[in-house]
Structure 1
Amino acid sequence: MAGSSHGHTPAAWTGVTIAFIGFCVAGAFMVMAQPVGFWAGMVIVALGGVAGAAMRAAGLGQPKDVHPVHEVAPKATAEPASVEG
């Protein structure tokens, strides 16, 4: 993954950061046994996905044509060795 630009966009960073905050909120409220706070954290997680998708739609995500389609070479089939004898 280090050689690709996967996830190196403002949309990805923003969406993941908001979702991470939501998971932290939900986790804290789960430990405190507060269901309302847990579900509020889950709402924040969903908002992270919505924010990332909205930013991608606004052009802040990775362009569609960045990765060209790679041709895959057909697999070589091994012929069974004939047994003489």
Structure 2
Amino acid sequence: MTNPIADPGHGHSPAAWTAVVIMLLGLAVGTTAFFLDVPVVVWVGVAITVIGAIAGVVLAKAGYGAKGPKYQPKAH
């Protein structure tokens, strides 16, 4: 008999969701600015995307990641 593979969590945590939402906002801003040919705002979008990644790491280290002590999984 084999053991079932443990569920890795798939990033369903406040840290992951916050990072993804901020990064999507940055990509939307950057893509729109690229389309409108506004290079300064493209770089603002890049900065927002990087800030989103950093926010995810900071929140995960603060305990809001999938295995953090402040994370409370919800029933599916």
What TM-score comes out, normalization by structure 2 length? 0.77
> How many residues are aligned here?
62
Q: Could you tell me how far apart the structure 1 residues matched to 2:67 and 2:11 are?
A: 11
Q: Could you tell me how far apart the structure 2 residues matched to 1:57 and 1:4 are?
A: 17
Instruction: Spell out structure 1 runs of 4+ moving beyond 4 A.
Output: none
Instruction: State the identity %.
Output: 37
RMSD: 1.4
Counterpart in 1 of 2:19? Answer: 15
Counterpart in 1 of 2:55? Answer: 51
Q: Give structure 1 stretches of 5+ with no counterpart.
A: 65-85
Counterpart in 2 of 1:69? Answer: none
What TM-score comes out, normalization by structure 1 length? 0.69
Higher helix share: 2
The structure with the larger Rg is 1
Q: Give structure 2 stretches of 5+ with no counterpart.
A: 1-6, 69-76
